[in-house]
Structure 1
Amino acid sequence: MPHCHIMVYMRIVLTTLVTITCLLGDNFVELTQHPLLKALADNATHAAIGALTGIAFAVQFYERTSQLFGWILIFTCFVVSSFIDLDHFVEARSLYLEDATNLSRRPFLHCSSIVLIMLFFFLCTACLNYFRTSLMLGALLCAFITHHTRDAVRRGYWFCPIGHTDRIPQLAYILTTILTPHVLGYLHAICRSPIVLNFVGQYVKLSESNYRSGGGINSYRYMQV
């Protein structure tokens, strides 16, 4: 079966699974009354969405990475999507669920300004050809963007120190969740395009002789990592 057909089928399957997970997970959380079960269901939904978006991101690079590293990317997105909510307990300075879920303000890892900083470094590492580092940042971005977007349905995005946006519609949340890994993959491809690489290379690439002689503290080498 042609490679393009496989990718199309995978995208259809992953899109369907993400949509189902978003709808079922959110409905289950709304219908659940027990605080502990509600918190577990909410976090499990975050983790499941993270795993699916991690797969959607990793499969775009499976021909250029090892199978092990692909699984690392997926596992990273899965774990981080879940562990972001640990900042509730850090902010509450308590291990009790009641304290963690009744905060007077949103905890630090829920600040979406973090996403903008991570996106900047993602683009920089992709342009400078730090390949694995850029993919790891891409997996982290998938985790943070999908987590923050799901929370934005209820509270909006929080861009500190500017403030909060309005709550987003559920359709926008689902579409953003579906598109996030593909948009990041597309941005990575743009950063790896010959035009961008040639432009960046003019400023950061040293000749081999200059590198060996030690070009000084202000010199840079174009890394192939």
Structure 2
Amino acid sequence: MQMVYVYVVLTTLVSVTCMLGDNFVDITQHPLLRALVDNATHAAVGALSGVAFAVQFYGKTTYFFARSWNLEDATNLTCRPFLHCSTIILLLLFIYLCVSCLNYMRCSLLLGATLCAFVTHHTRDALRRGFWFCPFGHTNRISNLTYILITIITPYAISYLHGLCRNLIVQQFVGQFIKLNDSHLEDKRGYRYMQV
């Protein structure tokens, strides 16, 4: 029962952070302050989703593609950087599902955090520019409500997918096609760990 309260509080905090962060970005006039507020909003949403480091790292790649630490160069790119291609999310989702079904705990946690970081970051970008699916082009901008709902639902959806992949029926189905050798250790909960 206490976890329900934690979920409600986290969901409320994510919602408030999204709304306040976007309003602060909209009313801020100075470019440096605007970038700091935008980055802080990304970090706060990431922290509440449990992936603050990944979101912060992902946000810095814009400077890499601008080949400059200058804020004006990073905000005036002629095209979107490669990591802003939303097709990467589909690839990460496929890899995450495969790794989760194979029961690799450490890898699935890392991939789940990365997937959550990508989805929340892309959703925040889609608020202004739409999603970018590489071979197909851009979607229209998403609404504020859609942005907040996707940001709230993402960690829960990834957690649900992880639990679904650990389901005995799914495990038996995957076991028909994949036979792991004995170099993988299993803990008492059934998670596999690769020997290094």
Same topology, TM > 0.5: yes
| Alpha-carbon distance between aligned partners in 2 of 1:116 and 1:192, rounded to the nearest angstrom | 20
Q: Is the 8 A contact 1:122 1:134 kept in 2?
A: yes
Larger CA Rg, structure 1 vs 2:
1
Q: Is the 8 A contact 1:87 1:108 kept in 2?
A: no
Offset, 1:79: 1.4
- 1:87 pairs with 61, 73, 78, which one? 61
Partner in structure 2 of residue 42 of structure 1: 38
Task: Give the match's secondary structure for 1:20.
Answer: helix
Partner in structure 1 of residue 130 of structure 2: 156
Offset, 1:207: 7.5
| Alpha-carbon distance between aligned partners in 2 of 1:119 and 1:32, rounded to the nearest angstrom | 35
Partner in structure 1 of residue 21 of structure 2: 25
Measured on the aligned residues, the alpha-carbon RMSD in Å equals: 1.6
Give the length in aligned residue pairs: 187
- 1:224 pairs with 187, 192, 195, which one? 192
TM-score between the two structures when normalised by the length of structure 2:
0.91
Kindly provide the CA deviation profile for residues 121-151 of structure 1, in whole angstroms up to 9, marking residues without a partner as x: 1000000111111111111111110111011
CA distance 1:25–1:207, shift in 2 (3 Å): closer
Kindly provide the CA deviation profile for residues 35-94 of structure 1, in whole angstroms up to 9, marking residues without a partner as x: 11100110110011011011xxxxxxxxxxxxxxxxxxxxxx101212222222222211
CA distance 1:27–1:80, shift in 2 (3 Å): same
1:194 aligns with 2:162: no
Partner in structure 2 of residue 51 of structure 1: 47
- What letter corresponds to residue 85 of structure 1 in structure 2? G
TM-score between the two structures when normalised by the length of structure 1:
0.79
| Alpha-carbon distance between aligned partners in 1 of 2:75 and 2:29, rounded to the nearest angstrom | 14
Structure 1 stretches of 4+ with a deviation exceeding 3 A read: none
CA distance 1:32–1:207, shift in 2 (3 Å): closer
Partner in structure 1 of residue 115 of structure 2: 141
Partner in structure 2 of residue 118 of structure 1: 92
- What letter corresponds to residue 88 of structure 1 in structure 2? T
CA distance 1:154–1:198, shift in 2 (3 Å): same
Gaps of 5+ in 1: 55-76, 212-222
Offset, 1:161: 2.1
Gaps of 5+ in 2: 184-190
CA distance 1:124–1:206, shift in 2 (3 Å): closer
Q: Is the 8 A contact 2:132 2:139 kept in 1?
A: yes
